[in-house]
Structures are given as C-alpha cells and as structure tokens.
Amino acid sequence: MYTNILTSYNNGITTITVNRPSKLNALNKVTIQELHAAFDIADKDTNTRAIIVTGSGEKAFVAGADISEFANFSIDQGKELAAKGQELLFDFVANLSTPVIAAINGFALGGGLELAMAAHFRLASNNAKMGLPEVSLGVIPGYGGTQRLSQLIGKGRAMEMIMTAGMIDANQALAYGLINHVVSQEELVPLTEKLASKVIRNSSVAIGAAIKAINAGYEDGVDGFKTEISEFGKCFGTEDFKEGTTAFLEKRKADFPGK
C-alpha cells in the first residue's frame, strides 16, 4: 500500500513508521502524501485510540526534508511547498482528534523535528539529536518550525536553536521541555506504547475536546478559554460523560463507548 512508510495496529494503537533508512527517513513529497493518508485513515478508524509516529532503524526519526526536490524552486514554488506541507501533514497532525505521540529514535532535524513537534507530545531515545538547521541552507523552517518550537521551548531558546542551526541532545531537549521523557533506544517504543495505553483508557471524545481546547490557546484571534467552555459543555451531551460519571459513582472502571 505504501512505498515509504509502514503501518501496524495493536490494541487500540496504530503505529506509523517512516521507512526510508537509506535516506535517514527524510521527508519527500511522496512520504508526506503517504503520511497524510496514514494519519487520516488512523484518525477515522474507530478502533484506533492513539497514534505513534516513529522512524525505522536506529539512526533517525526523520533527518529532514529531501533537499534535492526543492533546490531549484522559485519564490512562489517555495511558498506553495510550505503551505501545502503544513496543510497536508503538519497542521493536519497537530489538529487530529486522535492523540499522536512521537517516538524520536535518532536524528530529528528540520522537517523531522517539525513532524515531531506537530505530534501532541514527544519521547526520545538517549541517542536522539534535534535541530532546525535550515538557515545553514539559506532558508528557514517552513513546516511550522518557527512557530511550534517557540511555543514549546520559549522565544529565546527557539531563536538560538534556529539562528545557530545547531543540534541539541535528548537531555537538553528534556530540560527545554521539547520532549517529555528520555529512555534508551530499547525502551523507547515500549514506554511510548505504555503511555499510549494509559491515554486510551480514557474517553476518546474528551481527549479530542482537550486537544482542540489546548490548541485554541495558541491560535491568533481565538480565545482558548472560550473554546474550553464550549468543549467542556459539549462533553455533557456525550455517552462517554454518562458512562464516566456513572462508573465513578458506582465505583467501577469506566467502559467508554467513544461517543
């Protein structure tokens, strides 16, 4: 079905793996299209309650974009590349109602770090290196990197990382708040799956509402508090809310229908 990615499903979790090890899993046009399709399918699949995104092999999550594809682009082509990429993949992932967890298993550079930042949260192996080296090529991050990096780690640190084009290691990324956990390469997928399984015990409808409310706080011209009030109110009309509150009062585990 796919040329450059692999997908698998187990116990409510769909794992999407970028699979171009000879290119350090770099993102090209085809890979971005395939990732969009895989995320879309997983999000619409009622059995999938969480999505993990990772890279194949032990060297790279995604080591950037495929520069050979756009080295000769014009200004307008460059704008279109960024706009289409953000719409198809990066904004698409950030706004999915199904939670997306990135398991960063090596280099996450340029478009690779931008993909990890579009996920709802991130874990990394202790050999991971992260950075946005675009200015060393005479360009800037174009897949949301200038916005999401500063949201996650603050303006000053984002300015330094982007301007120096330098890489930070997993421990530095943890200290910055860019990632949530650092573990060995062997423990990365098991821990990511463990966290995903904790997530999927809860109401998928409420989680989708929480993602929407949290994201609203970072959107220009949107009042995140108002979005929270609206999403909070909507929860009261769901079957998940009835089940969750009933289960709590009956002192039993909730069995959420996801509606």
Cβ neighbours around 225 below 10 Å, total:
11
Catalytic position from the list 69, 87, 134, 193: 134
Q: Look up 114 and say whether it is catalytic.
A: yes
Non-local CB neighbours of 74 within 8 Å, separated by 6+ positions: none
C-alpha–C-alpha distance, residues 13 and 50, integer Å? 5
Distances (CA, A) of 183 to 55, 62, 103: 16, 18, 10
What's the half-sphere exposure (Cβ side, CA atoms, 13 Å) at 93?
31
Question: CA dihedral in degrees (17, 103, 157, 28; nearest 10)?
Answer: 0
- What is the identity of the amino acid at 82? A
C-alpha–C-alpha distance, residues 2 and 74, integer Å? 30
Catalytic position from the list 69, 80, 114, 239: 114
Q: Are 42 and 16 in contact (CB under 8 A)?
A: yes
DSSP 8-state secondary structure symbol assigned to residue 134: G
Q: Look up 134 and say whether it is catalytic.
A: yes
* Residue numbers annotated as active site: 114, 134
